[in-house]
Amino acid sequence: MRDVAVIGVGVTKFGELWNKSFRTLGIEAGIKALADANMTGSEVDGVFVGNMSAGRFVNQQHIDALIADYSGLSTNGVPAVRVEAGEASGGVAFRQAVMAVASGMHDVVLAAGAEKMTDLDDASGNAILDSTADAEWEASMGVTFPSLHAMIANRMIHDGIATREEIASFAVNSHAHGALNPNAQFRKAVPIETVLRSGPVASPLGMFDCAPISDGAAAVVICPLDKAKEYTDSYVKVSAVAQASDTLALFQRDDITRYNATSVAARNAYRLAGIEASDINVAEVHDNYTVSGIMALQDLGFFERGKAGKAVLEGQVALGNRLVVNTSGGLKARGHPIGATGVAQIVEITEQLRGSADKRQVDGAKYGLAQSVGGIGSAVTVSILEAI
């Protein structure tokens, strides 16, 4: 298999973008990525799109054809594929794109993700989100996405793995970084009191423990590593893409305070990249809820079980440390337009490794990691990028 490089990235502002349609968002991100790679769409020979549920959010299936068409790629018949893996849809799209180039079946591929979620009222939107849980055995019983995460949080607190304050502190870290990101949905640092006192969603989690409903899109252009220089001097190497799965329902797990799929995907990714967890300098993890962020830091091997919460609370993953987490603001502050999220993580890591992250820059970052989670840890991708 061939080595692969990311040679261009593009992302829209995330937020409640009522003046932009699903397709205009997708096109904006795609054009930015192509311009960043100093190329036009005519050089692209494959497209992978991560999208969770445009069929329900905006009544449009067949997103693959839509994106190929509106990017001007359908005139050449360029194949486009939409993938869905719940909230990990963007991460899976990136992995499929890397596989397509690594295999030699494609040369220049656009991996994109988009979601337009605010066209529906909150109740309808949340019902769609709940459909990534087990519809027959969990959602049908009244379980929602927030309540599943609340159960995890309660168990972690009960078992002494993290305190309520430690869990809440993950949002403080994400918001501090989001304040520095011009494309973030929320650009305001918040003290831990704000998180702890926010309106209850599912006890112990409050509003500031939960990522928002967002619109947005992100895209990256990839090609074989040995051809990257033909397009740009500013590229990064894809050292690993790994994916693993777990049970769809939470109740079927022996231990609900960790995601086995994260552990398996991370182990495979470190092996493929030939590095260890301690080599990572910058990481984007899937903090759809604060508690997910704490679990991620443990399951990815950054901290021992029971120590991640304390580290976050003490500011050990903020800018200026050896490992910096969620410089983009994460899902909590940057926003979480589902299909876009996993691709936006790759955009952020690429910016960091090529030194173009502006006020969020982690100096001298060599290895970056992105973790994307579908459902309640039912599908997880872990990607590792490397500065050249």
Chain positions contacting a copy of itself, by CB under 8 A: 1, 21, 23, 52-53, 55-56, 58-66, 68-70, 73-74, 77-86, 92, 96, 99-100, 102-105, 128, 131-136, 139, 242-249, 252, 260-261, 264-265, 374-375, 378-379
**CA 269, CA 265: separation in Å to the nearest integer?**
6
Q: Which is nearer to a copy of itself, 38 or 268 (CB)?
A: 268
Q: Which is nearer to a copy of itself, 53 or 169 (CB)?
A: 53
CB of 71 to a copy of itself, least distance (A): 10
CB of 299 to a copy of itself, least distance (A): 12
CB of 149 to a copy of itself, least distance (A): 16
**CA 143, CA 343: separation in Å to the nearest integer?**
28
Report strand pairing: 109-116 vs 282-284: unpaired
Token pair belonging to 157: 């607190």
Burial letters for 301-326: b for 16+ Cβ neighbours within 10 Å, e otherwise?
bbbeeebbbbbbbeebbbbeeebbbb
CB of 274 to a copy of itself, least distance (A): 17
Closest CA to 104 of 7, 9, 3: 3
Q: Which is nearer to a copy of itself, 136 or 255 (CB)?
A: 136
Q: Which is nearer to a copy of itself, 172 or 249 (CB)?
A: 249
8 A C-beta contact, residue 8 and residue 39: yes
Cα torsion 99, 95, 322, 359 to 10°: value is: 110
- Measured from the Cβ of residue 3, the count of other Cβ atoms closer than 10 Å reads 13
Q: Which is nearer to a copy of itself, 154 or 378 (CB)?
A: 378
CB of 214 to a copy of itself, least distance (A): 17
Q: Give the number of residues written for the chain.
A: 388
CB of 11 to a copy of itself, least distance (A): 23
**CA 205, CA 221: separation in Å to the nearest integer?**
37
Q: Which is nearer to a copy of itself, 147 or 194 (CB)?
A: 147
